Structure 1
Amino acid sequence: MAIVDLLDWLDEYASPNTIWYVKRLSGNDTLANGSHQAGPYIAREFLFHIFPAINRTDIKNPDVWFDLYLDSNADYRKVRAVYYNNAHFEGTRNEARLTNFGGQSSALLDPDSTGALVVFAFRLDDAGAATDCHVWVCQHETEEDLVEDRVGPVDPGKFLVWLPVQTAANLRLQGVPPPQTSCWLEPADMPPAWLTDFPAAAEIVRKSVDLRPLPTLPPDQRLLKRRECEFELFRSIEQAVERPHILAGFTTVEDFVNRAQTVLQRRRNRAGRSLELHAREIFIEERLVENHHFSYQPVSEGTKKPDFLFPSQAAYQDTSFPVSGLRMLAVKTTCKDRWRQILNEADRIPNKHLLTLQEGVSEAQFAEMTGAGVQLVVPAQRMESFPAAVQPHLQTLESFIGDVRLLSVSL
C-alpha cells in the first residue's frame, strides 16, 4: 500500500476510545524460529485491561473472540485472546496470547515480517473493553518512521501503549510502565544542570555505566542490562524535565505540539545513539584502546562514517595496511531493512559486521544478508529468537571482541 494509505490509517485510528499497542515482531511472534506460538505476544497485563473477561483463574485458559482487521494486508480474522493459566492448574504456563491468525498466510506470522514494527489499534467501548482491532504491519523503514514520528522509538523486546486521545473511559489504560529500578533517579538525585539542560546521550550512557558497572558479567549481558538501566534513567530525567511544563499547562495548541515534538525528537536521538555508545564503553572496558585498537565514528572515504573501524581510522586509510587486518562494525538496533545501509560504508572491507538487538530474522532475510557479506553480531541472550538453522552462523559480541584482539596480535 502507498504511504498515503498509512497516513490516512494513522489519522483514522487516532480517535477517542482507541488504544494502540506498538511493538516489533520477534522470531517468537512470527513463525521464523519454529516456536509454534500461533500468535504475537502481547503483555498479559495489557490484555487483562482491555479484555477483563480473561483475567480469571477459576477456569482453565479463559478466552474471548473478536474481529481483527489486518488493514496493511487486506486480511480479516476472527481472533482469540486467551490467557494460558496452566500455572494455576499444576502446569507451568502463565501468559496471554492472540491466536487463530491462520499460519503463514497472515502477515503477522510470516517469517519475513520478523523485526517489523506493528500497530494494534484496539477500539474500546464505554467501559474500556476492546470491541475489535485494526492492525498495520509496516512494510519498510519509511512506514516505520511515520509511526515512530507519532509515538516515539520502539526498541526490539519493548512495547509501547499509546492513547491517541485521552477520555474518561480510557484514562485507566495508560499502559503498563516498565518496573522502576535503582536506575530511576528522583530530581533531587540528579545533577542540577540536568533539570535545565537535558543531558547529552553520552552523559546518560556514562551514568548508566556508573549505576551498572557489572564488571564480572560477559560483554553481551553487560550490554543488555545497561541498556535497560539507561532506558529507565532516561525516562526519569524526561519526567523530571517535562513534568513542570505539563503541570503549568499550555496556552495554545501550537505550544503543546511544539513541546510534544521536542520530546519525541529527544527520544529518537537517544534511540539512535544509545547502542553505539554502550558498545564503545564496553570496548574500552575490554581493554581495547581507542584509536589504537578501534576508532569510533571515523571517516572511511569522503563523507562515509561507519560506526567503528578496527584497528583504527589511520590503519584503514593506510593503503599498505593489509585488508585482512581490518574490520568494520555497524550498530543498528533493528536491521530488518536498515542492514542495506551499511553496504556502502568502508569500501576497503568487503565483509561487514553488524551489531543488532533485533529478535530474529527469517532464513530468507539472513541468506540475503550473508550473500551481501554481512555478518550479524547478536547478544547471546537474543540468539534463541533466531531460526535454529541461523543460530550457528551468528556471532556474539564477546566473540567479536575476541577476534579483534587476535587481529592485533597476529599483525
Structure 2
Amino acid sequence: MESHSMMAIQAALQGQVAFCKFLSANDTGKTGGHQAGIYISKASSPILFNEPGNKGQNKEKWVKIKWQNDFETDTRFIYYGQGTRNEYRITNFGSGFPFLHTDYTGALFVFVKNTEDDYQGFILNTDEEINKFLDAFGLSPTETNKLIETTRPDPEIHEKLAIEQFIDGLSVEFPTSEEMSVAARSIHNQVYNHQELIRSNPDKQLLDWTATEFRLFRALEYVRYDKMFTNGFSSVDAFINAANQVLNRRKSRAGKSLEHHLSAIFDGNNVQYKAQAITEGNKKPDFIFPSQEAYHDLTFPTEEIVSLAAKTTCKDRWRQVINEADRLRDHNKYLCTLQRGISAKQMDEMQAEKVILVVPKPYIPSFPEDRRDRIWTIGRFVQYIKKLENR
C-alpha cells in the first residue's frame, strides 16, 4: 500500500498550493475550546482565503477535505478578527475525527488546495514519514509552518513516486524480468524525459535504465521481504531458504536486465536483430544481426553478420562467446558487459580469440590504459550495425 508520506508528496506536487506544519499542543489538545482547530500562520493564509481577513470582523468558508486519501470532512476555515484576536484556523472536523488529540502533537500536518472548495489533508506521525516528506521538498524542520515551494523537488522524488505507484499496482509478488525492465524504462523516461538519448547517447541511456531498474527492484524487495527478515525466522534453514530465494532472484534479474535494455536500444535505433537466435545445435547467442535467417543463409555475406553476447560480468565467462556461432569463428565476436575493469592478460586473451568488448563509455577508464583503444562503446557498436544494415 502506498505510504501516506508519498500520497502527501504527490498531492502537494499536483495541487494548487501546499502547506505543512508540526501540530502543536494548542492544535491537538483543545477540542471545542476557545482556540479549537488547527492554527494557520498569516503568511500562509492564501491557502485558505483569496483575500486576507479584515481586522474587526470574522470571516469563514466551508470546504471539503479528504484525509489520508481515505475519508472526507465538511470543515470550516475561519479568520478571527474581532476583539484582540487576529488569526486563521481550520475548525469543525466532525465527531470521531481521529487526529486532534494529544497523541498527534508533533505530527506533521500537510495541507493541499486542489480547488476553491476541495482540499486534501495528511497527518504524518512517524519520523520516517515526516523525514521522507521534508526531504522531498528540501525542507528542514525549522522551515515548516509556511507554504511549500513545490518547484523544488529533485527528479528523484518523482521517480520514487512512480516506483511506489508501480509496486502498489502489482497483482503478483514479482513481475517477470522483462516486465521489470519495461517498467524501469517507462519510469525513467516519464521522470527524466530523455528518450532522445537512445540515439544520441545510448551509453548513458543504458546505464540510466539499468540504475532505475536496480532501484525499482530493491524497492520491491523491501516491500516484499522487509517484514519477513525483520520478524526473524523459526530456524537457520528457514533463513537460508529465504536468503537463497532473494539472491537467486537478484542473479536472474541482473542477467536478463542487460539483454532487455540492449533490445530497447536496438529497437530505438531501428536496427534489425534476433535475440536468442539459434545458430548450430542448441547454441543461442544473445543477439544476432541482422537475423537468424540471414545467419543460416549461406548466400548472405558472413562479414555482414554480427553476434553480440550480453553478460553483466564476464571475467570468467567470456570464453563462452567463442563457440556461440560457428560461422563467425574466424570473425570478430562482440561482448557487451557492465563489468568495470578486466586484467591486461585477459584482454590479450580476448584479442587473440577475436572477442571485442563493448562497454558503456563511462566505464572505459577502469580498464588498462594501454588497451582501452580495443574497447567499443555502446554508441560505436550501434553505429557499426546501422552502417552494416544501411540504416
Q: Shorter-chain-normalised TM-score: which range? A: 0.5 to 0.7
Q: Find the partner of 1:220 among 203, 214, 223.
A: 203
2:270 maps to what in 1? 287
Partners of 2:268 and 2:176 in 1: CA distance: 21
Q: How large is the RMSD of aligned CA atoms in angstroms?
A: 2.3
The Cα shift of 1:353 comes to: 0.4
Higher relative contact order (CA 8 A, sep 6+): 1
The corresponding residue for 1:331 is 310
How has the CA–CA distance of structure 1 residues 282 and 198 changed in structure 2, closer, same or farther, with 3 Å as cutoff? same
2: CA distance between counterparts of 1:317 and 1:257?
46
Offset, 1:194: 3.2
**What is residue 305 of structure 1 aligned with on the other side?**
284
Contact 1:183/1:232 (<8 A) preserved:
no
By how many angstroms is 1:228 displaced?
Answer: 0.9
Which residue in the other structure is 1:92 paired with?
Answer: none
CA-to-partner distance for each residue in 1:185-229, whole Å, 9 max, x for gaps? 588513556364211111111111112222232000001111111
Aligned equivalents of 1:343 and 1:245: distance in 2?
A: 43
Superposed counterparts of 1:1-400, under 5 Å: 182-184=158-160, 189-192=165-168, 194=170, 196-213=172-189, 214-217=194-197, 218-247=201-230, 249-288=232-271, 293-350=272-329, 351-400=332-381
For the Cα contact (< 8 Å) 1:276–1:307, is it kept in 2? yes
**Offset, 1:386:** 1.8
Structure 2 counterpart of 1:152: none
AA partner of residue 398 (structure 1): G
Runs of 4 or more consecutive aligned structure 1 residues displaced over 6 Å after TM superposition: none
Structure showing greater Rg: 2
Corresponding residue of 1:57:
none
| CA apart distance, 1:331 | 0.8
Comparing both structures, which one devotes a greater share of its residues to helix?
A: 2
Secondary structure of 1:331's partner?
strand
Q: Following the alignment from structure 2 to structure 1, what is the Cα–Cα distance between the partners of residues 263 and 181?
A: 10
- In the alignment, the residues of structure 1 paired with residue 389 and residue 246 of structure 2 have an alpha-carbon distance, to the nearest angstrom, of 43
Name stretches of at least 5 consecutive residues in structure 1 with no aligned partner: 1-179
Verify the 8 A CA contact 1:294 1:309 in the aligned structure 2. yes
Q: Structure 2: which amino acid aligns with 1:392?
A: D
Identity %: 40
Secondary structure of the equivalent of 2:288?
strand
SS of residue in 2 equivalent to 1:329 = strand
* Residue in 2 that maps onto 1:155: none
The code of the aligned residue for 2:258 comes to L
Q: Secondary structure at the match of 2:351?
A: helix
Inter-partner Cα distance in structure 1 for 2:162 and 2:234 = 28
Change (3 A) 1:356 1:320: same
Give the whole-Å Cα distance in 2 for the aligned partners of 1:186 and 1:284. 24
TM-aligned CA deviation for residue 182 of structure 1: 4.6
Distance 1:364 1:315, change over 3 A: same
Looking at structure 2, the residues matched to 377 and 188 of structure 1 have their Cα atoms a distance apart, in angstroms, of 34
Q: In 1, are the aligned partners of 2:167 and 2:220 still within 8 Å (CA)? A: no
User: 2:292 is matched by which residue type in structure 1?
Assistant: Q
Cα pair 2:163 2:216 within 8 Å, conserved: no
Write the distance in 2 (CA, Å) between the matches of 1:195 and 1:245. Answer: 19
TM, length-normalised to structure 1: 0.52
Structure 2 unaligned blocks of 5 or more: 1-155
CA separation in 1, counterparts of 2:220 and 2:299?
48
Q: Is this contact kept in 2: 1:194–1:237, CA < 8 A? A: no
Note if contact 1:196-1:241 (Cα within 8 Å) is conserved in structure 2: no
Q: What code does the residue aligned with 1:328 have?
A: S
Q: C-alpha distance in 2, partners of 1:354/1:302?
A: 21
Structure 2 CA distance, aligned partners of 1:227 and 1:342?
A: 23
Cα distance in 2 for partners of 1:225, 1:188 equals 19
Q: 1:163-182: CA deviations, max 9, x gaps?
A: xxxxxxxxxxxxxxxxx765
Taking a change above 3 Å as real, the CA distance of residues 182 and 370 of structure 1, as seen in their structure-2 partners, is farther
Distance of 1:381 and 1:187 partners within structure 2: 26
- Superimposed CA distance per residue, residues 331-367 of structure 1 (whole angstroms, 9 cap, x where no aligned partner): 1112222111111101111321001122222332211
